[in-house]
């Protein structure tokens, strides 16, 4: 009995230190690496006017294609987020919201690393609807 107890205690300490280490690693990866966007995209006008209809269309697509990683409210906390190496970003904060619509469109269209590219999977109009919807995540 006594031996079993101390064995369990040792296992517990191991598990806890492992958890601590992985939390730290996660904390470091909360930063987003700079992602330069060519000027022609950065300054591109959004051809889809912001409207309730556009937000609605964007929400349906976002929920289907993006929420699993980016989370329901864009905080980067979707069900798949824990399995990602890179932090998907916080769409509610300044870093994201201060970018132009064109930058959001470019990143959605071409992707990078674990961020899939949606060129050929979604129409440009669909992507602009999603870009419009992601503005509603602003805090």
Interaction site with ligand HEC (CB under 6 A): 32-33, 35, 65-66, 68-70, 80, 84, 86, 88-89, 95-96, 104, 107-108, 112-116, 118, 130
Residues facing 21 on adjacent strands:
none
Rounded to the nearest whole angstrom, what is the least distance from the CB of residue 11 to ligand HEC in the complex? 33
Residue identified by tokens 């929920």 is 63
User: What's the Rg (C-alpha) of the chain?
Assistant: 20
CA distance 69 to 86: 11
Nearer to ligand HEC, 57 or 96 (CB): 96
Nearer to ligand HEC by Cβ, of 13 and 117: the residue is 117
φ/ψ of residue 114, rounded to 5 = -80, -10
2 vs 34 by CB, closer to ligand HEC: 34
């Amino acid at each position: 009995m006594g031996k079993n107890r101390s064995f369990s205690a040792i296992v517990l300490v191991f598990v806890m230190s492992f958890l601590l280490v992985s939390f730290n690693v996660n904390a470091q990866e909360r930063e987003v690496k700079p992602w330069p966007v060519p000027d022609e995209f950065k300054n591109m006008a959004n051809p889809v006017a912001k409207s309730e209809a556009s937000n609605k269309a964007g929400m349906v697509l976002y929920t289907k294609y993006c929420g699993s990683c980016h989370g329901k409210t864009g905080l980067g906390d979707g069900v798949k987020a824990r399995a990602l190496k890179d932090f998907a970003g916080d769409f509610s904060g300044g870093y994201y919201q201060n970018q132009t619509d064109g930058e959001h469109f470019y990143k959605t269209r071409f992707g990078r690393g674990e961020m899939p590219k949606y060129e050929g999977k979604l129409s440009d109009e669909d992507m602009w609807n999603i870009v419009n919807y992601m503005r509603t995540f602003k805090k």
